[in-house]
Amino acid sequence: MLRFVVRRLVGMVFVLFVVSILVFLIFNVIPNSPPAQRLAGKNATPVLVKSIEEEWGFDESLPVQYVTMMKNVFTGELTSYSPRIPVNDQIQEGIPATFSLSIGAGIIWLSFGLLLGYLAATRAGGWLDRALTGVAIAGISIPVFLLAPVLIYFLTYKLEIFPNGGYVKLTEDPWEWFTHLILPWFTLAVLSIGFYSRVLRSNMLDVMNEDYVRTARAKGLSEGRVMTRHVLRNSLIPIVTLFGLDFGATIAGTAIITEVLYGITGVGYYAAHAIANFELPPIMGVTLYGAFFVVFINTLVDIGYAYLDPRVRLGASAQ
């Protein structure tokens, strides 16, 4: 176990390192106007631009710029170009919103996905199974950037059932916090509900044909017990891994489009803004934050998997 964790930590450092280099290189390769120029504004004189370059270090070579930037990351001094705010603070401010969105959506998509998957598998071939399959495929197919505007238009504008976007802190007003998140939760979850129900259905159908399920019936267990303790228990193991990956990715920022469309001021929103303005420091900050979460949650998932499936126990010898 120790061996496993240590390896993961080393791996994480390595991943973060590679990610940071890639982001840095990509940013410096894609065509964009020099930051110094943009900072200087419209009627900039070359002298002004030069002094900004010196101040920010844009006149240094790329490797030096990289090292400086990474130093700033570790000391927490990474600042965006304009406005000149520490990236750290911005990210921290955005975290509650992103977490509220991701965790809420995660709970929804997991519970509904599993429920629908279970129903479809136990009534496989029947009309309910076919209907749920249709619903699942619809959910997987509708892109977020289509669904969100449609929902916003009909449910917040035309019918005014829900508030029109924005985020309200839980500590300020729980009810408003809740109503503001309902549509975003749904939008973010709908894709995954479809996906997870298909995966669970497929896993369950496989497991139901396994020999040990036949043994369970042959020793006289009730059908309910066979389904829960034997079929579900084994079908859920791959879903745990899947959920870990998905959830990790969501927190890391795949909720970016949803956040932007609904105006939820989370980390993704911040990142979108930074991308639109070609600001490297926030992009670097958000990407590293995201990479960290992905690796961290994946590690948790792997440990959890070993707990769920005794055949895969970490550490110890091959036998």
Partner 1 sequence: MSAAPLLSVRDLRVGFATEGGLLQAVDGVGFDLKPGEVLAIVGESGSGKSVTAQTLIGLTRSKNSRIDGSVKLDGEELLEADDATMRRLRGERIAMVFQDPMTSFNPVYRIGSQIVEAIRAHKGDADKAQARRQVVELFDSVGIPDAERRVDDYPHEFSGGMRQRAMIAMALALEPEVLIADEPTTALDVTIQAQILRLLEDLNRQHGLATILITHDLGVVAEVADRVLVMYAGRIVEEGTLDEIFYDPQHPYTWGLMGSLTRLDRPRPHRLPQIAGSPPSLLDLPEGCPFRPRCPHEFSKCPQDPGLEARLSEVPDHRDRCWLTPEQKREKRQVEGQIGLEAPQEAPRV
Partner 2 sequence: MSDGAANTGAPLLEVTDLVKHFPIKSGVLIDREVDQVRAVDGVSFKVEKGKTLGLVGESGSGKSTACRAVLQLIKPTSGSVKFEGQEIAGLGRRRMRPLRREMQMIFQDPYASLNPRKRIGQIVGDPLRRQGVAKGADLRRRVQELLERVGLAGEHYNRFPHEFSGGQRQRIGIARALALKPKLVICDEPVSALDVSIQAQIVNLLDDLQDELGLAYLFVAHDIGVVRHISDRIAVMNEGKIVEQGTADQVCENPKDDYTKKLLAAVPIPDPKESRERREHAGSAG
Residues lying near partner 1 in the complex (CB under 8 A) are found at 210-212, 214-223, 225, 229-230, 233-234, 237, 308-311
Angle at 74 between CA 273 and CA 28, to 5 degrees: 50
Please say which residue, 171 or 209, places its beta carbon nearer to partner 1: 209
Report the nearest approach of partner 1 to the CB of residue 238 (Å).
13
Partner whose footprint covers residue 230, from partner 2, partner 1, none (CB < 5 to 8 Å by kind): partner 1
Report the nearest approach of partner 2 to the CB of residue 6 (Å).
5
Residues 6+ apart with CB under 8 A from 266: 94, 95, 96, 97, 98, 99, 100, 101, 167, 255, 259
Partner whose footprint covers residue 317, from partner 1, partner 2, none (CB < 5 to 8 Å by kind): partner 2
Report the nearest approach of partner 1 to the CB of residue 309 (Å).
6
Please say which residue, 2 or 159, places its beta carbon nearer to partner 2: 2
Please say which residue, 71 or 313, places its beta carbon nearer to partner 2: 313
Please say which residue, 141 or 222, places its beta carbon nearer to partner 1: 222
Please say which residue, 8 or 201, places its beta carbon nearer to partner 2: 8
Please say which residue, 5 or 128, places its beta carbon nearer to partner 2: 5
Q: Is 37 exposed, middle or buried (0-12, 13-18, 19+ CB in 10 A)?
A: middle
Partner whose footprint covers residue 2, from partner 1, partner 2, none (CB < 5 to 8 Å by kind): partner 2
Q: Contact positions toward partner 2, by CB under 8 A? A: 2-3, 6-7, 10, 317-319
Report the nearest approach of partner 1 to the CB of residue 56 (Å).
57
Report the nearest approach of partner 1 to the CB of residue 233 (Å).
6
Partner whose footprint covers residue 212, from partner 1, partner 2, none (CB < 5 to 8 Å by kind): partner 1
Report the nearest approach of partner 1 to the CB of residue 118 (Å).
18
Please say which residue, 1 or 26, places its beta carbon nearer to partner 2: 1
Report the nearest approach of partner 2 to the CB of residue 214 (Å).
20
Please say which residue, 169 or 313, places its beta carbon nearer to partner 2: 313
Report the nearest approach of partner 1 to the CB of residue 228 (Å).
12
Taking CA atoms, 61 is separated from 54, 58, 113, 193, in Å, by 12, 8, 51, 48
Partner whose footprint covers residue 3, from partner 2, partner 1, none (CB < 5 to 8 Å by kind): partner 2
